[in-house]
Amino acid sequence: MSVADWPSWPFMIGLGVVAHGPAVLSSGPDIGIGLRCIFAYPEGLLVSMQIRAVDGAGQLLADMLSHAHAGAPRRPHVPHSWLQLTVLDDGEEMPLTGHHSSGTSISAGVTDDGVQTAGYDRDVDAWVTGTPARGVLEIRTGWPEVGAPMTTTHLVMEGLTDLATAVEPLR
Amino acid sequence: MTEPDQFRSGDRGDPEGMWSSLGGIAHGPIVLARAPHIVIAVRCVMAFPEGLRAWLVADTTDINLIPPAPSPPANHTEAAQRLHEWEQWPGPADDPVVHVTVNGHRRRMLMLDGRSDDADPGAKHIDVPVRIDGLPRDGLVHFEVSWKPGLPLTSKTLHLPQLQQALTEVRHLVHSAWGSGRQVPKCS
């Protein structure tokens, strides 16, 4: 499913329990895809991720995204692609039913050596319906087209018991 | 050196280390202040060697309890002027007022990048990480929040006993010479 098809984001449901802290999920030359944290709710998990690309990968993404804007300066053609993400519980794929992203940024600069460079930052917050029955979440993610290989990471969740009372409602 | 008196969400002036690293979790979710139909809370506090990032959330189900939203700008000139004013002080009139004090330095947090456009009609929701420069030497982060008239000024101090542990959990995300050079934001 394309992230563009995901329904509205579910943040309003409350203050989720921190079930996992930071972890690098995929890394390649000049690019990293990381987990900031996972918030757990009775209904599911909010997987908060960060993409950071610099130098070669940052320039590649800058070129790719430049074609998404009418009137953008002409740059080398880079086929459009997107972060790949699958979340599994005991081998079963879990539905990604919510999405929110913010903080996308493309930056340009010059190093002290006079080399032009570019950077790309993006927050990706994926909503996963359900919680892993055995407390272990499997995340497969990557962005091979820009140098981040598909990588599988197993995360041991904490605090998944009694979520109904542990989660502080906002409303 | 004079320090800035406010922080902005999504500030591209963040230290390079905070952009290229994943912060350790120094504090979990906590409500800072609550009143009928209004809440201001922290989802978590992430620790980096350069400082903290607090993921703030502000939510009201009744916008009649908070200051009225500014009317839409009449033209591009007015829109540009308003954006310039927000960049200086004090941010959108209908935003909550949040000050944070660390190591004796009190500053206002602006939450410009995290507003939700799909909140229910009559409601408002802001969800955004904000940067806090420096690590608290005493492990304390003092919040003062208000969203008047519905939510009066309320103080809350977070204790971060796990701060040093959180710093050991910081993960480096990408290596680059990027931080050594001049950075010029192009778009966001």
Q: Residues B29-47: pLDDT tens digits?
A: 999 999 999 999 999 999 9
Percent of chain A with pLDDT over 70: 74
ipTM summary value:
0.84
What's B11's domain CATH number?
A: 2.60.40
List, for residues B127-161, the tens digit of each pLDDT value. Answer: 888 899 899 999 999 999 999 899 999 999 999 99
Query: Does residue B80 belong to any structural domain of this protein?
Result: yes
Model-level pTM greater than 0.90?
no
Are the Cβ atoms of A24 and B22 closer than 8 angstroms? yes
Please tell me the predicted confidence (pLDDT) of residue A16: 94
* Residue A14 phi, psi dihedral angles, 5° rounding: 145, -175
CA-based torsion, B96, B102, B106, B107: positive or negative: negative
Does A29 lie at the interface with B, CB-CB under 8 angstroms?
A: no
Please say if the pLDDT value at position A66 is more than 60: yes
Parent domain of B53? 6-170
In a domain, B183, yes or no: no
Cα dist from B73 to A126, B93, B95, B142, whole Å: 34, 14, 17, 35
B122: contact with A, CB 8 A cutoff: no
Question: What SS3 class is residue B163?
Answer: helix
Higher pLDDT, A156 or B107: A156
For range A34-63, the mean pLDDT: 90
Q: With CB atoms and an 8 Å threshold, state whether A103 touches B170.
A: no
Q: What is the DSSP letter of A11?
A: G
pLDDT digits (tens, 9 = 90+) for A97-152: 655 554 456 666 655 566 666 788 888 888 898 999 999 999 999 999 999 999 99
Asked if residue B66 is part of any domain, the answer here is: yes
Number of H helices, E strands in chain A: 2, 11
Whether B44 maps to a domain, the answer reads: yes
- What are the backbone dihedrals phi and psi of residue B63, each rounded to the nearest 5 degrees, phi first? -70, -10
Residue B103 lies in a domain: yes
Identify whether B90 is part of a domain. yes
Pairing relationship of beta strands B105-110 and B6-8 according to DSSP bridges: parallel
Domain count, chain B: 1
B53 closest CA partner among B113, B9, B117, B92: B9
| CA B86, chain centre distance (Å) | 14
Give domain status of residue B1, yes or no.
no
Interface test mutation site (partner A, options B16, B22, B117, max chain A beta carbons within 10 A): B22
Domain-located, residue B38: yes
Give B56-106 pLDDT, tens digit per residue.
Answer: 999 998 989 988 877 778 888 888 887 777 666 666 778 899 999 999 999
| Nearest neighbour of A171 by CB, restricted to B29, B59, B128 | B59
Distance from CA of B175 to the nearest CA of A (A): 6
What whole-number distance in Å separates Cα of residue B69 and Cα of residue B95?
A: 8
Q: Is A145 helix (H, G, I), strand (E, B) or coil?
A: helix
